[in-house]
Amino acid sequence: MTEPSPRYTPYAPETAEGCSSSSVPCVPLVTCAPHYDQLKALPYATCRLHGGALGVCCPPEEKSSGDRTRLLEQQPVDVKIRPISKEEINDAARTGLWDLVERDLLEKSLQERNIVVSDSRSAAFGHLQFFKTSPEAMKIGRDGLLVARTSNQLVRRFNLTPLQAGFGLVSFNTKDTIIENTCPSGPECDEKSKFYRNIDGSCNNLQNPMWGQARTPFQRAVTPHYADGFFAPRKSSRDGSLPSARAVSVSTVIDVDQPYPDVTLSIMQWGQFIDHDLTHSPIFRFGNKSGIECCNDRGREVDPSFRHPSCFPILIPENDPFFARFGRRCMNFVRSMPAPRSGCGLGYVEQMNQITHFLDASTVYGSSERELEELRDRSRGLLRVQESTGLLPADPDAEEGACEADRESNHHCFLAGDNRVNEQPGLTVIHTIWVREHNRLVTEMARLNPHWAGETLFQETRRILVAEIQHIIYNEWLPIIVGPRYAQSRSLLPLRRGFSQDYDASVNPNILNEFATVAFRFGHTLVQGMLRLFDRSGRTSEVLQLRDNFNTPTHLYTPGKLDEFLRGLASQRAQRFDNFVTRELTNHLFQMENHGFGMDLVALNIQRGRDHGVAPYNELRAACGLPRATDFKDLHDVIPPHVVSIFASLYRHVDDIDPFIAGIAETPVEGSLLGPTFRCIVGDQFIRLKRGDRFFYDNAGLPTSFTEAQLHEIRKVSWARILCDNGDDIEHMQPLAMRSPVGINEKVSCESPAIPKLDLTPWISSPH
C-alpha cells in the first residue's frame, strides 16, 4: 500500500462565521450532503470558504441506533421427506440429461422452422438484446437447468408436494453423482486477491470466496413462491390464476407529469447505473444466441406444438386501450436462467446474476477477464477510448438491430463493462464519464509515480474509482432514496473522518432476488419520457422523445452533445416515485423506427417477479415489519384506497398481489423517496453491500484499506466534480448535482472550492 507524501497537507476547514459555534468548521456542501434538507432550512448554516465561496456548517454526526444489525433473513422451512439414495438421484439425473437432449432437438427444430425472434426491427428483438447472455453464463445456466430437471424427475417419481419439492429436496445434493460437475468449485485465491478485487468478484470474502462472484445465484429474503414449489412461475394461492401482467399495468399505472421540485434526473440515471453494476439476470436463448420466440409477428401466441419451454408470454387483453389498435394479444417474454445453488443442493431454483454482486464498477471494467481484456489499453493502465473524441470504444460488432449505428459516418455503438450501455443516451453518457475519470486518474497517478508499472497504475486507479463511486452513492444518492434518518440509523451514512469498522465476514453480500426483480426497479417511476438537453447558457437546446432513442447512442458523436446531456441530467427534474409511469415505458419500450408500439416495462417487471417466484406483496410487507393484510382494506395503511380498490377488482385475494405494482403504489415514508416495503428491501441490500464488502472504501485495518490522508481526499469527491472534470467543456455546476441548482446549491464555477478537487499526492510512493 502507498504511504502519504510529505508534500501532502490536508485542507484545514476554516472557522465558520455565523454558525452556532466558533469551533464549527466551514466546509463544502458535499461534506454533509445527506443533511441538505436540514441545512437549507437553517439560515445560519451557511458560511464562507477561502476565496469567498459558499460553504456550510454541518450538523453534528449522530451515532447509529443499532438497527444496522438487523438483516432480512429467509426463514428456514423444515420439510422432511423419505431418504433418497445417490442411485435414485443418478436415475433422475439420467432422465434429466435426456430431457436436455430432447430440449436441444426441439430448439434445432424451432430454428429450422424459423420460430425465432428474427425481426431486428421489432421491440422484442431489442428487448432480447438488452438481456445478452455471456458464454460463461450459458454454460452455467445449462448446469442449473440440469439440476432443475433432476429435481423435477424426483418430484414426479416420489409424488412430492410443492412444499416437499421446493424445500424437502434441499437436504440432498449432486455431490458424488453423475452430474457432480454441475456443482461449481470454489476459486483459488492468490496473494494478489488480498489487495485488489478480482474482476469476477471472487475471493472478496476469504472464508466464502464465491460470495459476490459473478455467475452465481441471487439470494432471498423471503421464501420463494413457485407454483410447483421449485421452478414454475408463481400463481394464485387460491385457484391458480393471476390477472395478465399487462391488465394489471394498464389498470393501475397512468402517465402523469409530477416531477420532484428539487431532485434532478441524475438520481434516476444513477439508479440505472447502480442497477447495472449489481444485477443482470440472463434469459434463456438458443445456443447460437438467437432469441426465443413466444409470440409470432402477428402478435399472437406461438402454436403450443412449437412453443419453447422457456416461454412465459404476457397475454394482452382484447380491449387493451393501446395495443388493441395494432392487433396485439401477446408480448414476448422468456424466462431467466438458473444457476446451481450454493452447496449444490436440489430443490427450488435460484436465478443467476451474471455480473458481480458488489458495487465495484463492473459497469466500467466488466465482470470477467475476457470482458476486461476487450476494454483495456495495455499502455500505462488506461482504458480504451476513441482517440479523436474521448468517447467509449466503438463496438462495430454490435448485432444488427440491437443498436442503431450510423456506419456510413463511422458512428458505431459503444463497448463498455456492461453490455447494456447503449440502451438509452443518459446511460451511455454516465458510462462515458466514468471511463474518462479512470483515464484522468491514471494520467495523474503516472505523473506522480513514474516508476509504477502499467498494472500497478491500473489497479491503484481502479481502487480509487470504485471508492469514488461508492462514496457518491452513500453520500449523495442513497440518503435521497431511503432518507437521511433511516440511513443514519443503519450506519449507511459516510463518516466525515476516520475509518469504519463495519466489515463483517459473516454478511453475505449477494444480491437479493426481491431487490433485483422487484424493489430496485422503483427507478422506472422516476424516468422522464422527454429528455431535455441544455446549452452552456442554461437554455433548453433540444428535447428528445425517449421512444426514439432506445439503443440509439449516436447523438454523442455530435460535438457538444455530451455536455448537453450532462447538463440535462443536472438540470431536468426527475419524476416522482409513484404508480405513474411514462407511456414511453409502458407502451413504447424498445420501439423501433416505423413501428407504432413497443413493449410495457411495468408488465415485464410484474411477469419477471412471477418468473422468479418472488413472494407476493403481502409476504414482503410482513417481512419488513408491516402487519400482514387479511383483507384488501388492510392495505389502506400505506396504499391509497382508490388503488386498493383496483387491486381488489384485479386479484381474487390480497395474498395474490404482485409485489412490484403494490410497492410503487405505497405512499413514500417522510424524508424518503420510497414507501416502507421498498425502503426496507433497498436499505437491507445496501447494508449488505457495505458490511459484506472487504474492499469497501472506508474499512479500517485491512490490507485493502486506504491511508487516512487518502480517505480524506476520497471524501471530497462529488457527482458535480466528476461532471466538471470529465465533460468536454463543463464550466459551471451546482455543488450537489443530484439536487436542483437553487438556494445554497446554486451553480458555481467548476474552479470554485465549493466543488472540491481530489489531491492525489497521498498516493505518491517511493521507488523500491
Residue with cell string 394461492: 237
Letter for the amino acid at 692? G
In the beta sheet, which residues pair with residue 55?
47
All cell numbers assigned to 438: 479512470
Please state at what angle helix 561-571 crosses helix 719-726, rounded to 10 degrees.
160
Q: How many helices (H) and strands (E) does the chain have?
A: 23, 19
Backbone angles phi, psi at 49, to 5 degrees: -80, 175
Stretch (H or E) spanning 350: strand 350-353
Q: At which residue does the C-alpha cell 409513484 appear?
A: 578
Task: Work out the number of other CB atoms within 10 angstroms of the CB of residue 634.
Answer: 17
Closest of 575, 570, 658 to residue 621, by C-alpha:
658
Residue 664 CB-density burial (10 A; 0-12 exposed, 13-18 middle, 19+ buried) = buried
Strands (E) across 38-138 are located at 46-48, 54-56, 116-117
From CA 768, how far away is CA 325, in angstroms rounded?
A: 73
Read off the C-alpha cell for 541.
Answer: 437546446
Which is nearest to 582 in space by CA: 595, 601, 605, 604?
Answer: 601
d(CA 764, CA 8): 9
- DSSP tag of 164: I
User: Cα torsion at 638, 642, 646, 652 (round to 10°)?
Assistant: 60
Provide DSSP, 167-232.
IIGGG-B-TTSTTGGGSPPPPP--GGGGTS--TTSTTSSSSSTTTT-TTEE-B-SS----TTSSSS
Burial of residue 160, with CB atoms counted within 10 A of its CB: 0-12 exposed, 13-18 middle, 19 or more buried: buried
Phi-psi region of 228 (alpha: psi -120 to 50; beta: other; left: phi over 0): alpha
C-alpha 191/C-alpha 200 separation (Å) is 16
Q: How far is CA 73 from CA 222, 624, 685, 728, in A?
A: 7, 11, 11, 46
Residues in the chain: 768
Contact, 313 vs 333, CB < 8 A? yes
Catalytic position from the list 127, 276, 438, 732? 276
Distance CA 47, CA 6 (A): 31
Question: Per the structure block, which three cell numbers stand in for 35?
Answer: 443533511
Q: Which three cell numbers stand for residue 537?
A: 447558457
Q: CA 313, 318, 324, 326: dihedral to nearest 10 degrees?
A: 60
CA–CA separation, 2 and 712 (whole Å): 15
CA dihedral 725, 729, 732, 734 (to 10 degrees): -50
Is 438 among the catalytic positions? no
Contact 714, 471 (CB under 8 A): yes
C-alpha cell at 301: 401466441
The angle, 0 to 180 degrees and rounded to 10, between the axes of the packed helices 425-448 and 561-571 is 110
User: Which of 745, 695, 765, 643 minimizes the C-alpha distance to 36?
Assistant: 745
Contact between residue 527 and residue 544 where contact means Cβ atoms under 8 Å apart: no
- What count of Cα atoms within 13 Å lies in the side-chain half-sphere of residue 725? 20
Nearest-angstrom CA–CA distance, 280 and 608: 13
**What positions carry a catalytic annotation?**
276
